[in-house]
Structure 1
Amino acid sequence: MNKIDAIGIGQTQRQLISQMQSISAQAGAPVIAPATGKAETVSFGNVLDNAINSVDQQQHVASAKQRAVEMGESDDLTGAMLESQKASVSFSAMMQVRNKLTSALDELINIPL
């Protein structure tokens, strides 16, 4: 892996971390809508759905770029590989979040009453 690819993956990881931090800060917290000035709550389910849809979209983009390179429609192999790595990192981060949520739920279930 060359230096440019390493920088691209590092930026993607930083972006994912900042997205996850903003999601955790928003989940269940009142948010002031800029247009109306009224407080509205953000549901954890909606935030999780948005994160999953974002990962899914990244995987579709990576797949489309790989398909274009394979069919000879594009010669941007570097771009296809970067999108593939971004999708892979996003999916890995999502799986880690899922594992943390699952272990937290297991701990809650096992709390003695």
Structure 2
Amino acid sequence: MTIDLASAMLDSIRTTRANIAGADEPTAGGGAGFADLLKQAVLNTDNQQHQANDLVTAVETGASDDLVGAMLSSQQASLSFSMMVQTRNKLMSAFDDIIKMQI
């Protein structure tokens, strides 16, 4: 079984870009598209963490022998989490810059 991690990451980036392009349009909630996009990103990262944990647990208990798949899933979840933390840091930095602006 071969897993193309680069392809999975590219698909994830394309999906995120499509969601961002769709978030530019006002939503029925009055412009909550950006908040929904962030919420979806956090939920996707959480789901990846849980899936990776399940795969690693299956390998540890002997229910599966796909060690490579479990490690790739774990690394992908780690990268997703790192990307989410860096996005948070950029948002907080932008917020701090806005707060410090002179009116």
- Give the TM-score taking structure 1 as reference length: 0.74
Q: Which runs of 4+ in 1 moved over 4 A?
A: none
Equivalent of residue 13 in structure 1, options 9, 13, 18: 9
Preserved contact between residue 69 and residue 80 of structure 1 (Cα < 8 Å): yes
Superposed CA offset, 1:31-80 (max 9, x none): 6xxxxxxxx46622222111101110011000000001001111111111
Partner amino acid, structure 2, of 1:105: F
Whether 1:68 and 2:58 are equivalent positions in the alignment is: yes
**More displaced 10-residue stretch of structure 1: 48-57 or 21-30:** 21-30
Return the alpha-carbon distance in structure 1 between the equivalents of residues 94 and 5 of structure 2: 29
- Aligned equivalent of 2:75, options 85, 92, 97: 85
Instruction: Identify unmatched segments of 5+ residues in structure 1.
Output: 32-39
Answer whether contact 1:27 1:47 (CA < 8 A) is retained. Answer: yes
Question: For the Cα contact (< 8 Å) 1:12–1:86, is it kept in 2?
Answer: no
For the pair 1:97 / 2:87, whether they are aligned, the reply is yes
Provide the TM-score with structure 2 as the length reference. 0.81
Indicate conservation of the 8 Å contact 1:62/1:80, yes or no: yes
Residue 28 of structure 1, CA deviation: 4.8
Q: Which segments of 5 or more consecutive residues in structure 2 lack a partner in the other structure?
A: none
- What per-residue deviation string (whole Å, max 9, x for no partner) do you get for residues 4-55 of structure 1? 66xx232233223223322332335236xxxxxxxx4662222211110111
Greater helix content: 2
Residue 45 of structure 2 corresponds to which residue in structure 1? 55
RMSD: 2.1
Separation (CA, whole Å) in 1 of partners of 2:61 and 2:85: 31
Aligned residues: 100
